Structure 1
Amino acid sequence: MLGFLAMRAIGALEVVQGDVYARSFELEGRQGTLSVRPGPGEQLDLRVRLAGQDLTPSLIGQLVRRARRQFDLDADVQRIHRELAVDSLLQPLLAARPGLRVPGAWDGFELAIRAVLGQQITVQGAIRLASRLVAVHGRPLALPDPDWPELTHVFATPGALAVADLAALGMPASRGRTLSTVARAVLDDPQLLEPKASLQHGLEGLLRLGGIGDWTAHYIALRHMREMDAFPAADVGLLNAVALLQGQRPTARQLLARAEAWRPWRGYAAQHLWSVGN
């Protein structure tokens, strides 16, 4: 989990040091920082610093829910792994990483922007763009945290990105337009990215947005909506992993058919496949 977060940490917004993940945030109009580290037993220790204000019960509840989602703490991992282990392709992967969880997202809008930035480029390239976006369009922390001086900004708001010239950050104009489309859509419907009654319902809402294709929609559904059967079958990493495991590269259609055996946990199967070679 920490390796995944470290590779995708956005500069000025997130940092992973040792066994600690830290980030800035803005909730209910208040800014702060938090850190998550191993606690006693199988617990995680969540520490929060709020800029000049006390934590309210409402804010505490939001912080805990978001941390639980990001670290996939509500998953019944033993059951999921037991059900996936009947598949011979996944058996060695499950044995190698028996406690593997699917990393979630801190915020739906932030995750959607990350997903669009990651279209057809490397993880490293997407993080460079995301860091640039935060530096230019994010807001500085009103009161930096002396324990985490690297955290200097909070993520840009939908209002800011809806009117920004995002192509100026160094991306294709079409991708800048998609980012603006997502921002405007969230302003029009603040519940757009929240979990829906079904995976299909969630995907349909995303796919109606210009520039959002199947891969991006499934990625958002998996990591933020927590639809654990989401499966971006055309993902290059998944196709490469299966090719490495079985000696022949499948088409996206073939992989989608193969993944029928992994329902309703295709997202966990995907996470194990993404780990191949790491």
Structure 2
Amino acid sequence: MQVEAVRTTGIYCRADCSAQPLPHNVTHYSNPVAAEVAGFRPCLRCHPERRAGSLADLDVPTPVGAALLRINDGFLDHHDEEALAAHVGYSARQLRRLFEHHVGATPTTIARSRRAHFARCLIDDTDLTFAEIARAAGFGGPRQLHRAITSVFCFTPTELRSKRRRGERPRLDGGLVLALPYLAPFDFEAFISHQASRAIPGVEAVTGAGGSAAYVRSFSAYGHAGIVEVTAPTDSAPMAAVPTDAAPMAAVPTDAAPMAAVPTDAAPMAAVPGDGEQLQMRLHLPTYDSIIDAVSRARALLGTDTNPSPAAAALADDPLIGPLTRSAPGLRVPRSWDRFETAIRIVVGQQISLAAASTLSGRIAQRFGTPIDALLECCAGSPARIEHGEDVAVPLTHLFPDAAKLADAGTAGLAGLGFTQRRIDTIVGISRAVASGDVDLSATDTLEATVAQLCELPGIGPWTAHLIAMRVFGHDDAFPASDLGLRRAIERLVDHPMQPREIDTLAERWRPYRAWAAQHLWHAAAGSGPTQSGPTPR
């Protein structure tokens, strides 16, 4: 997202900000971080740093994009630039040079900005202490928080908090409520419909319907079990707007950076972005340490930072998919909260119904997952149940096990859960590959390389590999051509039977957005009959 920096005030704004500076005082930057590096701070009126997708849809080389994805996952909260560079095949010096050229900031600067903006929202919109905010945003303590906030915003945390509007102080009863801005349009009901048929019992669930629907799930944050709820926003709940900074990014102008003037602040701060384009996220945790990572996971699953316009434009003229994109303009391709959990859920779903796959995945969670019976106060007095809507109770009993846990369980551990021996071998095989590092679920290889590597694992064929590439790795062109649900959806549209090879040929015209085409087909077919998962039986 481009921003406009005003040299006379030292402030950068969104293009649609109501402020009207003189054109000759304005310098354009391709992203907020680049403007901050040049010495500007965010406008207190339009909040450009809170805009969903503010660092998305920008063009950078593949290694830079891969590094940005890891930064967005919190990699630099626990590692240094040397480790980040090693993951993308560069030296730290070369990676910094690429970042400065293409992004306008170093990897460390971007990571610091990510934490600072998240902390700023908690300062503005919660009553957490500065020590709690520092831990929630991944800082070492209040001193680090103070330095970062002052550097980015030119105000101390105390000064920023004093600028809040009176009467907009939020309540923390019943969990910490945050806002998840999204790039409009966004079809939350379509996301709910998709997740409802794939939820893992005991780990996640969908409650309510229509405007009161919610996605709830268990998760772990730094050793603490918690529960998150995502809903459409309500007028009664105050929300802290969460900054979004998904990669990749584009090159920034090479103009000399102007010095920032002493800030002046006539405009009052808004409690939330004025766009109304946001979801509500409620976190139930005994501590809010490092919740910035939980917010990143929610954004990844929901696709809030993804711009649907490029895919819609590319598919608009297709006689088959075009009408579907126009009828559901806010549809997203759901990704994953936990990459390993999603990969296992896909493997479990080979050639069985979605309902059966969810049941079997729930058995894995129950046998090997960590119980969450000790949530105590963080769930409003109900240790393993979240109340949502009217008289709705959702039992969330376990955290899904990690790769090491399932790898250690071995084939004997999975016996008696209802799996065939071949499926057990596949689950154990991918668990061991992920646990050992042979398969990196955060890698940013090409679609072809990703599918080829996955297909080397026992029991994984093109259908499984393409679904994992779509949901876990985020490949927009992944397409499981042999999927039975896709075949049935296409056959309804063309009104004659089709084979997987014919479907694969047909989908060539949907490149490079075949995953989006597939999602529209699944969405259009939802509710038309029993839902089947897995490749077409042979």
- Is TM more than 0.5 here? yes
Q: Distance in 2 between matches of 1:25 and 1:251?
A: 40
Quote how far apart the aligned CAs of 1:231 are.
Answer: 0.4
Q: Distance in 2 between matches of 1:197 and 1:217?
A: 13
Q: Which amino acid aligns with 2:401?
A: A
Larger radius of gyration: 2
2:502 corresponding residue in structure 1: 254
Quote how far apart the aligned CAs of 1:98 are.
Answer: 1.8
Can you list the C-alpha shifts for 1:69-108, whole angstroms capped at 9, x where unaligned?
A: 1001122112311210110011221222121111111111
Q: Percent identity?
A: 39
Quote how far apart the aligned CAs of 1:60 are.
Answer: 2.6
Can you list the C-alpha shifts for 1:107-137, whole angstroms capped at 9, x where unaligned?
A: 1110111011100100011011011111111
2:192 corresponding residue in structure 1: 2
- Which residue, out of 271, 276, 280, partners 1:45? 280
Secondary structure of the residue that 1:225 maps to in structure 2? coil
2:435 corresponding residue in structure 1: 187
Is 1:245 the counterpart of 2:490? The answer is: no
Q: Superposition RMSD on alpha carbons, in Å?
A: 1.7
- Which residue, out of 312, 323, 326, partners 1:92? 323
Q: Which amino acid aligns with 1:201?
A: A
Quote how far apart the aligned CAs of 1:142 are.
Answer: 5.2
**Contact 2:433–2:439 (CA under 8 A) maintained in structure 1:** no
Which stretches in structure 2 are left out of the alignment for 5+ residues?
1-190, 235-275, 387-393, 527-538
Quote how far apart the aligned CAs of 1:191 are.
Answer: 5.7
- Which residue, out of 416, 420, 432, partners 1:168? 416
Can you list the C-alpha shifts for 1:204-239, whole angstroms capped at 9, x where unaligned?
A: 221121111111111011011110110001111111
Q: Which amino acid aligns with 1:163?
A: D
Q: Distance in 1 between matches of 2:232 and 2:226?
A: 21
Q: Which amino acid aligns with 1:157?
A: D
**Contact 2:455–2:461 (CA under 8 A) maintained in structure 1:** yes
Q: Distance in 2 between matches of 1:264 and 1:106?
A: 24
Q: Which moved more, 1:168-177 or 1:188-197?
A: 188-197
- Measured at CA, do residues 272 and 154 of structure 1 come closer, stay the same or move farther in structure 2, by a change above 3 Å? same
Secondary structure of the residue that 1:182 maps to in structure 2? helix
Quote how far apart the aligned CAs of 1:190 are.
Answer: 7.3
Q: What is the 5 A alignment of 1:256-275?
A: 256-275=504-523
Secondary structure of the residue that 1:245 maps to in structure 2? helix
Secondary structure of the residue that 2:230 maps to in structure 1? strand
Can you list the C-alpha shifts for 1:38-72, whole angstroms capped at 9, x where unaligned?
A: 1272201122122x33x23xx33321221111001
Is 1:234 the counterpart of 2:490? The answer is: no
Q: Which amino acid aligns with 1:239?
A: R
Bigger helix share? 1
1:25 corresponding residue in structure 2: 219
Secondary structure of the residue that 2:416 maps to in structure 1? helix
2:337 corresponding residue in structure 1: 106
Is 1:14 the counterpart of 2:199? The answer is: no
2:347 corresponding residue in structure 1: 116
Is 1:155 the counterpart of 2:400? The answer is: yes
Secondary structure of the residue that 2:497 maps to in structure 1? coil
Q: Which moved more, 1:166-175 or 1:149-158?
A: 149-158
Quote how far apart the aligned CAs of 1:9 are.
Answer: 1.4
Q: Distance in 1 between matches of 2:305 and 2:448?
A: 22
Q: Which amino acid aligns with 1:44?
A: L
Secondary structure of the residue that 1:260 maps to in structure 2? helix
1:204 corresponding residue in structure 2: 452
Q: What is the 5 A alignment of 1:133-144?
A: 133-141=364-372, 143-144=374-375
2:357 corresponding residue in structure 1: 126
**Contact 1:229–1:263 (CA under 8 A) maintained in structure 2:** yes
2:113 corresponding residue in structure 1: none
Q: Which amino acid aligns with 1:34?
A: V
Can you list the C-alpha shifts for 1:167-197, whole angstroms capped at 9, x where unaligned?
A: 3201101101111111111110076211323
Q: Which amino acid aligns with 1:133?
A: I
Deviating above 6 A after TM superposition, structure 1's stretches of 4 or more consecutive aligned residues are none
Q: Which amino acid aligns with 1:69?
A: A
Q: Distance in 1 between matches of 2:450 and 2:460?
A: 13
**Contact 1:195–1:226 (CA under 8 A) maintained in structure 2:** no
Q: Distance in 2 between matches of 1:35 and 1:189?
A: 31
Q: Distance in 1 between matches of 2:303 and 2:216?
A: 17
1:217 corresponding residue in structure 2: 465
**Contact 2:221–2:291 (CA under 8 A) maintained in structure 1:** no
**Contact 1:167–1:175 (CA under 8 A) maintained in structure 2:** no
- Measured at CA, do residues 277 and 12 of structure 1 come closer, stay the same or move farther in structure 2, by a change above 3 Å? same
Q: Which moved more, 1:68-77 or 1:136-145?
A: 136-145
Q: Distance in 2 between matches of 1:173 and 1:151?
A: 29
Q: Distance in 2 between matches of 1:270 and 1:34?
A: 28
Q: Which amino acid aligns with 1:263?
A: R
- Which residue, out of 288, 305, 328, partners 1:74? 305
Q: Distance in 2 between matches of 1:60 and 1:27?
A: 7
Q: Which amino acid aligns with 1:202?
A: T
Secondary structure of the residue that 1:184 maps to in structure 2? helix
Which stretches in structure 1 are left out of the alignment for 5+ residues?
none
Q: Which has the higher contact order (CA 8 A, sep 6+)?
A: 1
